[in-house]
Homo-oligomer: A and B are copies of this chain.
């Protein structure tokens, strides 16, 4: 089983408006809701790829109940979420029909108590024992110690289970020092971690901070990987226009499933880029189109570089 951790689960709400005008009143033309938090997105993609997946993290309040109901309807994802007294958050994406641009609002999430954090840790340590790989994804809700991911990375490593960490800011900085197998920053997260906006040196710098492998997302240009086995760039066959929501989570699912299946790095990267592309091109945000995935997978261009 692959374990995904989403400490700050969410209900991802999308509003479509004709045009976003600050300080005006908008009649929302369309509303869609979807359980989210990066780890749950990763779990769904892993399940669609045929993996057995267990999802843990926190869920509470009416929004938490909705998230759990929807997990029940997700084939292949086992619900191991830990209850919390606070209410699971919503995130809101306001899509401007005129420009296609998205304005994002992320609620902070529930306040997690020390007892809830301890209950989660106990559950995690139990789950990690039977996991083949672990994904630690997204932001930390209030109350969770900022070093949380370092603790979770170490517990997985102690159990001999490889960990992929996908977060940002101080949570990433602390987590990377605990030596996860893979981190997958985007350009902004990498720049915040290393102080450099030049992808190759910054990716190498991030690796020196402790990660065994760093896979940097270059947005529409694909992925840049610096690992112990070598470094690669993997790019989609052409620039793909669409909705990038969830593309990073699909890349995480591709990397993690490739790791669990023992694929070599070029194949893992090709899978990750193809899944991202199939997510960008899917009609619904955060879904991926299996046919596009199969089509693109064979034509991802993976180029070896100098070892990282």
**Residues on A facing B (Cβ under 8 Å):** 15, 17, 20-29, 31, 62, 65-66, 89, 92, 94, 96, 99, 101-108
Contacts and interface: CB of A to CB of B under 8 A. Distances in A.
A20 B104 CA distance: 10
Shortest Cβ-Cβ A-B pairs, 7 listed: A25-B104, A23-B101, A28-B107, A26-B105, A62-B62, A20-B22, A31-B107
Nearest to A21: B103
A29 B108 CA distance: 7
Given A62-B62, A62-B66, A22 B106 contact: no
16 contacts: A15-B92, A21-B103, A22-B101, A22-B103, A23-B96, A23-B99, A23-B102, A24-B104, A26-B105, A26-B106, A28-B105, A28-B108, A29-B108, A31-B108, A62-B62, A62-B66
A196 B103 CA distance: 35
Nearest to A101: B23
Nearest to A91: B28
Contact of A27 (B20, B24, B101, B108): B108
A117 to B, nearest CB: 21
A254 B101 CA distance: 43
A26 B104 contact: yes
Contacts of A31: 89, 107-108
A105 B94 CA distance: 9
Contacts of A101: 22-23
A50 to B, nearest CB: 33
Contact of A105 (B15, B66, B102): B15
B103 A23 contact: yes
Given A23-B101, A31-B89, A62-B66, 14 more contacts: A15-B105, A15-B107, A17-B105, A20-B22, A20-B23, A21-B103, A22-B22, A22-B103, A23-B103, A25-B104, A26-B106, A28-B107, A31-B108, A92-B92
Contacts of A27: 106, 108
B108 A22 contact: no
A108 B17 CA distance: 11
A96 B29 CA distance: 23
A142 to B, nearest CB: 12
A104 B31 CA distance: 15
